[in-house]
Structure 1
Amino acid sequence: MTHETVTLAWVVETPGPMASAPLRRVRREVPPPGDEELLIEVHACGVCRTDLHLAEGDLPPRRPRCTPGHEIVGRVLAAGTAVRDFRPGDRVGAAWLAGTCGVCPYCRSGRENLCPESRYTGWDIHGGYAGHTVVDARYVYPLPEGWPEDELAPLLCAGIIGYRALLRAELPPGGRLGLYGYGASAHLTAQLAVAQGATVHVLTRGEDAQRLALELGAASAGPATASPPEPLDAAILFAPAGELVPVALTALDRGGTLSIAGIHLSDIPSLNYARHLFQERTVRSVTANTRADGRAYLAEAARVRPRVHVQRYGMAQADRALTDLATGKVNGVAVLLPD
């Protein structure tokens, strides 16, 4: 194929605080797709806290001057010779998981998210803070028509990882769920849990986030360090704040589970066994997702049709969007759209 193109793309030039301007916008060649790849024209890309961790150096770079972004909605411009499921013009989504080995014990047992050779969009391969990108077709999702692109984009990570975190929390039917932090992922997960019959209590800093939580169906919303109005059957920690781990464990009822959804977490203070863990309370981490998680969540989202609270930015404003995320100025989700 001869679909080589040049695109404007943001790259992480020198990881550091957003005030140090770690991102730079450059012109970059986009190669034609390989046999099992797709060339995608980016129509929207969600801004994830993981992008912020990469820009600021909380996560070490895996590829020099990599383009962030892993909540990509776009159209196929060209498909490799071995691609059978997609063709030019199809609406598709590319998410965080970009590749696995397929042969390790984890891949063979349905736990490809734990593959030691897993690769990630915007970390190992160039992502969606660009006009075009190339991705492995085997890790791409078909997306429905008739759904706004800026509302679809956050589903591809914030939605999927929230779905996996909810599964890991093992919330019983009709149970009481606490959500610590209320950003992109939490506001989608809360709506899914409510639709499944749960009572959701949101604990987060910021009155705007608390108001949004109540608007979207939460039974209560208060400060992150406050006690919920009733014991919790399960909790999910979305905020990258290790000091909230003992807070959330204290709020759990007997037998409850705390699921930690972030890829990065500040240090956890020492725990008191009797107060935090005894009576079979459990702490579980969440590592990426499987493609089965992605398909299952997108099917659930089509059924529930969550309200996605979007703050829109032009692609040229990617650095501003990440700065706003870092300073708590994003209420809901930030999404980049073509200039």
Structure 2
Amino acid sequence: MRAVLLDTPAPIETHPLRLGHVDVPQPSADEVRIKVDACGVCRTDLHVVEGDLEVRRTPIIPGHQVVGTIESLGASVTDRQIGARVGVAWLHRTCGCCSFCTSQRENLCDSPDFTGWTVPGGFAEYLVAPARFTYPLPDGFSDLQAAPLLCAGIIGYRCLSKTGIDDWSGARLGLYGFGAAGHVAIQIARARGAEAYVCTRDREKHQALAEELGAVWTGGTMDKPPVALDAGI
């Protein structure tokens, strides 16, 4: 199959990625093989490519915002179906037995694998992933719309869920920084009826985008919002 490969990290301007051919991966017992239909590009991919994250596998296929169709099932997989559309995110697999995994905090696992860093990712025609770390996707999103939600969407949604806000109508939410996760979070918060106050240093781009998406106030990173906030993320 065709895949984008990184042999040695280097500045992106030097074009360290190459198009190559590798064997089609075979799923192990608890995995599924997915035909990739779309894969988003994340800032973390750039960290992998440029070596900001230590090399864990070489060559590596980057990409961790994957949308695709299940093509084959491992021998023990019973809760996924061939032909189903699913997503694959950054967290590829966890140990399942450390104190974090056993307390519903798998994102802090002691020995995880990560899609596109420690295991091959989605810049390829196919990839394999543990069935329990694939996410069925609703029909309301196109592949291109769904892909970024598998990273920025997950982060933004989790942050909102940790605010402690139960009644969002009229709630005052502060957003500190306004990258990919922030611009997803503001849309969810506003749809729930909240007011958004955004602090970010880039006035020409990020503050302008925040205002376009309905922020009632924008300011610099160190500026104080004009009202008391119910929560900040």
Note whether the superposition's TM-score is higher than 0.5: yes
Q: Identify the residue that residue 79 of structure 2 maps to in structure 1.
A: 85
Runs of at least 5 residues in structure 2 that lack an aligned partner in the other structure: none
Query: Which residue identity lines up with residue 188 of structure 1 in the other structure?
Result: V
Higher percent of residues as helix = 1
SS at match of 1:43: strand
What's the C-alpha RMSD, in Å, of the aligned pairs?
1.9
What is the alpha-carbon distance in structure 2 between the residues aligned to residue 67 and residue 35 of structure 1? 22
Q: Identify the residue that residue 127 of structure 2 maps to in structure 1.
A: 133
Matched, 1:186 2:191: no
What is the alpha-carbon distance in structure 2 between the residues aligned to residue 165 and residue 8 of structure 1? 36
1:238-317 correspondence runs (5 A): none
SS at match of 2:231: strand
What is the alpha-carbon distance in structure 2 between the residues aligned to residue 225 and residue 19 of structure 1? 32
Q: Identify the residue that residue 12 of structure 1 maps to in structure 2.
A: 6
> CA offsets, 1:182-235, max 9 Å, x none?
222111111112223322112331423333222222112344444433343433
Q: Identify the residue that residue 295 of structure 1 maps to in structure 2.
A: none
Matched, 1:108 2:105: no
1:65-214 correspondence runs (5 A): 65-171=59-165, 173=167, 174-204=170-200, 205-214=202-211
SS at match of 1:186: helix
Query: Which residue identity lines up with residue 212 of structure 1 in the other structure?
Result: L
SS at match of 1:29: coil
Question: Would you say the 8 A contact 1:172–1:233 is kept in 2?
Answer: no
Matched, 1:52 2:46: yes
SS at match of 1:81: coil
Offset of residue 107 of structure 1: 1.3
Q: Identify the residue that residue 23 of structure 1 maps to in structure 2.
A: 17
Question: Would you say the 8 A contact 1:44–1:73 is kept in 2?
Answer: yes
> CA offsets, 1:32-76, max 9 Å, x none?
211111111111111111111111222112212211111111111
Q: Identify the residue that residue 256 of structure 1 maps to in structure 2.
A: none
Q: Identify the residue that residue 228 of structure 1 maps to in structure 2.
A: 225
What is the alpha-carbon distance in structure 1 between the residues aligned to residue 24 and residue 151 of structure 2? 24
Query: Which residue identity lines up with residue 218 of structure 1 in the other structure?
Result: A
What is the alpha-carbon distance in structure 2 between the residues aligned to residue 206 and residue 57 of structure 1? 29
More off after superposition, 189-198 vs 62-71: 189-198
What is the alpha-carbon distance in structure 2 between the residues aligned to residue 172 and residue 89 of structure 1? 38
What is the alpha-carbon distance in structure 1 between the residues aligned to residue 191 and residue 13 of structure 2? 40
Runs of at least 5 residues in structure 1 that lack an aligned partner in the other structure: 1-6, 237-339
What is the alpha-carbon distance in structure 1 between the residues aligned to residue 224 and residue 50 of structure 2? 32
Offset of residue 25 of structure 1: 2.0
Offset of residue 115 of structure 1: 1.3
Length, aligned pairs only: 230
Offset of residue 157 of structure 1: 1.0
Question: Would you say the 8 A contact 1:40–1:77 is kept in 2?
Answer: yes
What is the alpha-carbon distance in structure 1 between the residues aligned to residue 12 and residue 203 of structure 2? 21
Question: Would you say the 8 A contact 2:156–2:181 is kept in 1?
Answer: yes
TM-score (norm 1): 0.63
> CA offsets, 1:212-261, max 9 Å, x none?
2222221123444444333434333xxxxxxxxxxxxxxxxxxxxxxxxx
Question: Would you say the 8 A contact 2:25–2:126 is kept in 1?
Answer: no
What is the alpha-carbon distance in structure 2 between the residues aligned to residue 212 and residue 175 of structure 1? 21
What is the alpha-carbon distance in structure 2 between the residues aligned to residue 84 and residue 52 of structure 1? 36
Question: Would you say the 8 A contact 2:89–2:150 is kept in 1?
Answer: yes
TM-score (norm 2): 0.90
